[in-house]
């Protein structure tokens, strides 16, 4: 396995395991003597000379990055400042910048540093003290992780030219619905957006129609705009658990779209089961206040090819038991192998 493949693989695997990722990108096996062109505070493996590993060494500043470095690992330090000039020799070449788990604030990121990086593809900036997003001018950005910061806004227009951006992680910040209006417009290839653990009162507006995954758990969402999902014809996974959804905030048929495969509405205040499409496979409704089960939420019509594709349905921690299931439910929920009541 080539040295480049190791971190790539680590990231791909962690992406596959959903949003949980590991900070330990460093492929221990490739750490050898430092290459000739390396900052003395860091390691540049001779067999992977375009990578510079400066992680886990109590650094307070970003070290000067020598010509030729494309992959820069700075996670798990005590970096408070990015001084002017440190990226001057790599402004066009730097592709990956990993700054997770440091102490960076917006005020101490000098002009002419990240705002000069024109070839960056991945920016990992989680677990810092940013109050506003830092976005490089690179049109090649494909992944942005800025979780566990103090972002209170994400201004509109910052991402409009990011034609290759596919994944944005902003969970655990202080974003409000107003402060992110239009933030994601223009990222025409965006597949995955995670805005969980923020202060949203509604699902983000103006998200690209390419979106396949939208996670908005742990916010203050109490209603969904009528037709919201009709503008997202590719959306397959929608999570809105741990919010304040009530029946009156769910317009008729708002979740009845054919693209959805998984819908998580657990830990809300719903009293009835919303109408879902026949194609939905996973529906999570545990810990709501559901007190009736009406098959018309799942099937309006039952026939040889007209039945719900639902496989898993969670209804535990509600006010219903198996005895509330209508007698003819098996006709509609033909594939539901797993219905949980407790
Ligand atoms: C930056 O580039 C200049 C000009 O090529 C060179 O003289 C200098 O040594 C480089 N600095 C580093 C840290 O690579
Ligand atoms: C970053 O935030 C943490 C937690 O709020 C705080 O303890 C720390 O002092 C902050 N660091 C800087 C450099 O602002
Ligand atoms: C976007 O990705 C495609 C396919 O990988 C690539 O050919 C293209 O150059 C990228 N665009 C930018 C602006 O980097
Ligand atoms: C969902 O929408 C389709 C098409 O509009 C409709 O035929 C079906 O009855 C609806 N399903 C539910 C459960 O409301
Ligand atoms: C039955 O299912 C087919 C295929 O999914 C669909 O086109 C048709 O509208 C459905 N009929 C009713 C009455 O829902
Ligand atoms: C739960 O359901 C029972 C029987 O349908 C009803 O009498 C009771 O009031 C419900 N409790 C709540 C908290 O909704």
Per-residue pLDDT reduced to its tens digit, 11-65 = 443 443 333 344 445 554 445 566 668 999 999 998 899 999 999 999 999 999 9
Q: Which residue has the CA at smallest separation from atom 13 of ligand 2?
A: 103
Ligand nearest to the CA of 319: 6
The rounded distance, in Å, linking the Cα atoms of 172 and 197 is: 5
The rounded distance, in Å, linking the Cα atoms of 331 and 325 is: 12
Q: Which residue has the CA at smallest separation from atom 5 of ligand 2?
A: 129
pTM above 0.75, yes or no: yes
Ligand 4 pocket, 247 CB below 6 A? no
Atom of ligand 3 nearest to the CA of 139: 13
DSSP strands (E only) in 178-332: 192-194, 213-215, 237-239, 262-264, 282-284, 312-314
**Residue 8 clears pLDDT 50, i.e. is over it:** no
Q: Could you read off the pLDDT of 71-105 as tens digits, one per residue?
A: 999 999 999 999 999 999 999 999 999 999 999 99
The rounded distance, in Å, linking the Cα atoms of 267 and 148 is: 22
Find the residues whose C-beta lies inside 6 A of ligand 2: 80, 103, 105, 129
- Strand pairing class (96-98; 122-124): parallel
- CA separation (Å) from 99 to 45, 53, 74, 209? 19, 11, 5, 30
Q: Reduced to 3 states, what is the DSSP secondary structure of residue 203? A: coil
The rounded distance, in Å, linking the Cα atoms of 170 and 162 is: 17
Ligand 3 pocket, 60 CB below 6 A? no
Domains and CATH numbers, the chain: 221-342 (3.80.10.10)
Task: Give exposure, 8-38, as e/b (b: 16+ Cβ within 10 Å).
Answer: bebbeeeeeeebebebebbbeebbeebbeeb
Q: Which residue has the CA at smallest separation from atom 1 of ligand 2?
A: 129
């Amino acid at each position: 396995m080539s040295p480049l493949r190791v971190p790539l693989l680590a990231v791909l695997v962690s992406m596959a395991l959903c949003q949980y990722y590991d900070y330990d990108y460093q492929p221990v096996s490739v750490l050898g003597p430092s290459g000739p062109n390396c900052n003395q505070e860091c390691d540049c493996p001779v067999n992977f000379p375009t990578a510079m590993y400066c992680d886990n060494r109590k650094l307070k500043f970003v070290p000067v990055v020598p010509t030729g470095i494309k992959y820069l690992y700075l996670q798990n330090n005590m970096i408070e400042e990015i001084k002017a000039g440190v990226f001057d020799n790599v402004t066009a070449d730097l592709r990956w910048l990993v700054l997770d788990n440091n102490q960076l604030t917006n005020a101490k990121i000098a002009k002419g540093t990240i705002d000069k990086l024109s070839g960056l593809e991945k920016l990992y900036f989680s677990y810092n003290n940013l109050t506003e997003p830092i976005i490089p001018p690179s049109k090649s950005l494909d992944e942005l992780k800025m979780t566990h910061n103090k972002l209170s806004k994400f201004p509109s227009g910052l991402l409009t030219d990011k034609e290759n951006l596919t994944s944005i992680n902003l969970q655990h910040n202080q974003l409000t619905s107003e402060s992110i209006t239009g933030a994601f417009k223009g990222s025409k290839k965006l597949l995955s957006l995670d805005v969980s653990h923020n202060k949203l009162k509604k699902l983000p507006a103006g998200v690209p129609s390419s979106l396949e995954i939208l996670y908005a758990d742990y916010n203050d969402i109490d209603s969904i705009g009528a037709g919201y999902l009709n503008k997202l014809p590719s959306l397959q996974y929608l999570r809105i658990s741990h919010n304040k959804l009530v029946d009156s905030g769910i317009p008729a048929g708002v979740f009845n779209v054919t693209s959805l495969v998984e819908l998580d509405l657990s830990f809300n205040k719903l009293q009835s089961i919303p109408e879902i499409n026949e194609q939905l496979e996973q529906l999570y409704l545990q810990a709501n206040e559901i007190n009736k089960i009406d098959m018309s939420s799942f099937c309006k019509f039952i026939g040889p090819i007209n039945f719900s594709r639902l496989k898993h349905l969670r209804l535990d921690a509600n006010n219903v038991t198996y005895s509330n299931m209508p007698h003819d439910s098996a006709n509609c929920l033909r594939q539901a192998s797993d219905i949980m009541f407790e």
